[in-house]
């Protein structure tokens, strides 16, 4: 049975929290090859320090199978995870290795059970933060992040290519007169890479622009595009589309206006094809992640509520998921959460056509200054299967060389006869 309403809102299958009595967060999630899920973030309840990098594996119903902590006596955090070709995992984040209060970009490779195989740190004379890592077609990895101090101007972003054992092949640092935050990188079909982030002239000015940069396989820049929707436009995620273009997810606002979710579609050269914003009359909407869906549309995840200040602190919020068609027109949106702060940071379409979302929740945990890592599973709507059925019907009609129409009810008679045969055989062999 298939849904006939392509705009039908899907239902929540389940949502689960993970952690102890401390501060937990799940920044990144994806479905694994066994149908379960892997998520990463940080934990304060487990491990040896103020916070540790955290890797958690669940089954298809969100039941925890194992969790691993990584780090030392200082603050450590993971921001992204991906399953690798060998069944293991690669994570990106940052770690404080010494007492000089400077962070290092941090990448950890594990086996399929979360046991560390190697870890790599990227360090300079300032703070280094790793935001994203992806396994590349040669079996190695592309790493990205930024360096500098958030509240001081002139933040730079960097890209590092390593082999499968974590050895450095090349690295590139992009410096300029502005703050440049890189958030995501993906390998393109030509072996190069596409990067997305935001650039701003000063922390005191509301003049941030989203950018999209293409580099070749050796890190040489091919193009650099910026997008200014309103006074401030931030980009958080990039995804390759089926037409070899790109989709950018983020947020935009002007002055004292409410923050709106931002979706930008470009061609393969980064030229803007269209831009969509998703707002609310009384609430801010921030979206952090998104991707193209099986039906050619797009899915976005983030938070809706009252945000206070540049730090993203909230007075209250709920997770929000927005679905659009292939032209960026909203089909539906749903909010998930309770009476406290609940945020979604990552979304991944699952093999059943549904979605897995990760973030944190204050509503479903107890105690002050306590948050739980959070997974939400949204059901599939069978829209894609509906499309396949419709396509089959059209093809069958167009290949009919006869101008005569079939006998009314003939197909129904064949269907009924088939069902009777099946039940007869079932009765015979039961």
Q: Which residues constitute the domain of residue 219?
A: 12-390
CATH code of residue 56 = 2.120.10.30
In a domain, 378, yes or no: yes
Distance in angstroms (rounded) separating the CA atoms of residues 121 and 136: 19
Distance in angstroms (rounded) separating the CA atoms of residues 387 and 399: 18
In a domain, 60, yes or no: yes
Sign of CA dihedral 63, 68, 71, 73: positive
In a domain, 167, yes or no: yes
In a domain, 409, yes or no: no
Mean of per-residue pLDDT scores for the chain: 84
User: For 47-74, what is each residue's pLDDT tens digit?
Assistant: 777 789 999 999 999 999 999 999 988 8
Asked if residue 214 lies in contact with residue 189, where contact means CB atoms within 8 angstroms, the answer is: no
Q: Give the number of other Cβ atoms within 10 Å of residue 1's Cβ.
A: 4
What are residue 238's phi and psi, to 5 degrees?
-130, 145
In a domain, 405, yes or no: no
Number of domains within the chain? 1
User: For 148-180, what is each residue's pLDDT tens digit?
Assistant: 765 555 788 899 999 999 999 999 988 766 788
In a domain, 342, yes or no: yes
In a domain, 3, yes or no: no
In a domain, 185, yes or no: yes
392, pLDDT greater than 50: no
With 0-12 / 13-18 / 19 or more C-beta atoms within 10 angstroms meaning exposed / middle / buried, residue 32 is middle
Mean pLDDT of 168-197: 90
User: For 258-316, what is each residue's pLDDT tens digit?
Assistant: 999 999 999 999 999 999 999 999 999 999 999 999 999 999 999 999 866 555 565 67
């Amino acid at each position: 049975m298939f849904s006939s309403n392509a705009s039908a809102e899907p239902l929540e299958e389940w949502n689960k929290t993970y952690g102890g009595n401390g501060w937990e967060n799940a920044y990144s999630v994806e479905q694994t090859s066994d149908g379960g899920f892997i998520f990463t973030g940080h934990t304060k309840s487990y491990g040896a320090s103020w916070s540790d990098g955290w890797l958690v594996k669940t089954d298809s119903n969100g039941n925890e199978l194992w969790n691993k902590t990584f780090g030392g006596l200082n603050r450590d955090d993971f921001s992204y995870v991906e399953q690798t070709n060998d069944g293991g995992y690669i994570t990106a984040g940052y770690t404080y290795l010494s007492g000089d209060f400077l962070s290092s970009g941090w990448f950890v490779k594990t086996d399929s059970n979360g046991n560390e195989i190697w870890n790599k740190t990227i360090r300079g004379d300032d703070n280094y933060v790793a935001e994203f890592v992806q396994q590349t077609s040669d079996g190695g990895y592309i790493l990205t992040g930024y360096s500098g101090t958030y509240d001081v101007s002139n933040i730079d972003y960097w890209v590092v290519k390593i082999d499968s054992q974590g050895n450095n092949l090349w690295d590139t640092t992009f410096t300029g007169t502005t703050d440049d935050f890189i958030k995501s990188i993906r390998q393109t079909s030509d072996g190069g890479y596409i990067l997305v982030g935001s650039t701003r002239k000063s922390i005191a000015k509301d003049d941030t622009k989203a950018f999209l940069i293409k580099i070749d396989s050796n890190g040489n820049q091919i193009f650099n595009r910026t997008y200014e929707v309103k006074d401030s436009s931030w980009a958080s995620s990039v995804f390759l589309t089926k037409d070899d273009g790109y989709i950018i997810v983020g947020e935009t606002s002007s002055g004292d206006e409410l923050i709106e979710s931002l979706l930008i579609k470009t061609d393969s050269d980064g030229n803007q094809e269209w831009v969509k914003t998703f707002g609310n009359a009384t609430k801010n909407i921030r979206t952090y992640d998104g991707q193209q869906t099986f039906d050619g549309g797009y899915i976005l995840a983030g938070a809706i509520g009252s945000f206070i200040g540049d730090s993203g602190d909230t007075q209250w919020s709920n997770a929000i998921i927005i679905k659009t068609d292939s032209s960026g027109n909203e089909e539906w949106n749903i909010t998930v959460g309770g009476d406290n702060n609940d945020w979604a940071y990552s979304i991944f379409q699952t093999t059943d056509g549904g979605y897995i979302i990760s973030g944190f929740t204050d509503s479903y945990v107890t105690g002050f200054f306590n948050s739980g890592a959070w997974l939400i599973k949204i059901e599939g709507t069978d829209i894609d299967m509906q499309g396949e059925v419709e396509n089959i019907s059209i093809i069958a009609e167009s290949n009919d060389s006869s101008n005569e129409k079939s006998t009314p009810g003939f197909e129904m008679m064949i269907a009924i006869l088939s069902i009777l045969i099946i039940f007869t055989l079932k009765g015979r062999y039961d």
